[in-house]
Amino acid sequence: MSDSTLNKTPVTVFESPEAAAKALAAEFAELIKSRAAEGKTAVLGLATGSTPLPFYAELIRLHKEEGLSFANVVTFNLDEYSGLPREHKESYWHFMHENLFNHIDIPAENVNLPSGTVAEADVPAHCDEYEKAIVAAGGIDFQILGIGRTGHIGFNEPGSPKDSRTRAIHLDEITRQDAAPAFDGIDNVPTSAITMGCGTILDAKKIVLMSWGEKKAAITKEAVQGPISDQVSASFLQEHPDARFFVDTAAASLL
C-alpha cells in the first residue's frame, strides 16, 4: 500500500482490490460502531457493479465472523435502471440484496434505492422525495463510488453539472455497451436510469472512489490529474474536502 497526493486528491494504491476492500471496510466498521455507541445511525452511500463486490464481501465477513451489526445503519444507493422491477436479475435492488443486504442484519426499512418502475410523469417527484429522505436521515456520512469508462460517478454521464441533484438521465452508449454482457446483449440494456446527482454525491461528508484494473487506468488518471470538468464527473472529487481514491496497482499504472 502506498499513499500520494496528486492535485490535492489523496490516492492510496493497494496490491489488490481485496486489500483495498479490507481497509475500506475497517473504516466503515469504525463509523458504524462509533455511531452505535452514541445511539445514532450511520448513513452510508452505496454503489453497484463489480467494483464494490470485494468490499461487500468483507462487510459480510465482519458481520458473520466479528459480530459487526448493521442495526443502526441507513443506506442510500446511487442509482437504478429505469424500467426494471425489483425482481429483475439486473436491477440494483436485486444486486444489493444478493451481494449484501440478505447477509447482514440491516433493517429492511433502512434500505433506500431509487425505484426503476416509477411512471415517467412521477419521476421528478420521486427524485425530490429521495433527496428529502437523504436530508431527513442527516445526510450521507460516507459515500463509496466506482468509476465508469465515461468517468461517471453514479450514472452522471458526461455533461452532468456539478450541482445536479437526483434525476432521470439518458445512459451513454459506452455505459450501455459495458453493461451489455450482463443483459445478454445491448438491445436489452435500459437506455435511462435514475441517479443521485453530482451535487447530491458531493454533499457526502466522506467519499472513497474505488478503481480496479488496467481498463480503468486511463479514466482514473483523468479523474485524479485531469482538469475538473463536467465531461468527467469523477473529476469533481478533486474539490471535495474529504474525498479519496483507493486504487489497485493496475488502475494506478498511468498516475
First-to-final CA distance of the chain: 15
Sheet holding 192-195, edge to edge: 79-81, 192-195, 167-170
Asked if residues 108 and 215 have their Cβ atoms less than 8 Å apart, the reply is: no
User: How open is the CA angle 25-31-35, to the nearest 5 degrees?
Assistant: 145
* Contact by Cβ (8 Å): 252, 19: no
Report the C-alpha gap between 219 and 224 in whole angstroms: 9
Residue 74 has what DSSP assignment?
Answer: E
Alpha carbons 233 and 155: distance in angstroms, whole number: 9
* Choice among 90, 157, 214, 239 that is catalytic: 157
Reply yes or no on whether 157 is catalytic.
yes
Phi, psi of 52 (to 5 degrees): -80, 0
3-state secondary structure of 5: strand
Tally of CA atoms within 13 A in the half-sphere of 108 that contains its CB: 1
> How many angstroms separate the CA atoms of 105 and 50, rounded?
23
Residues designated catalytic: 157
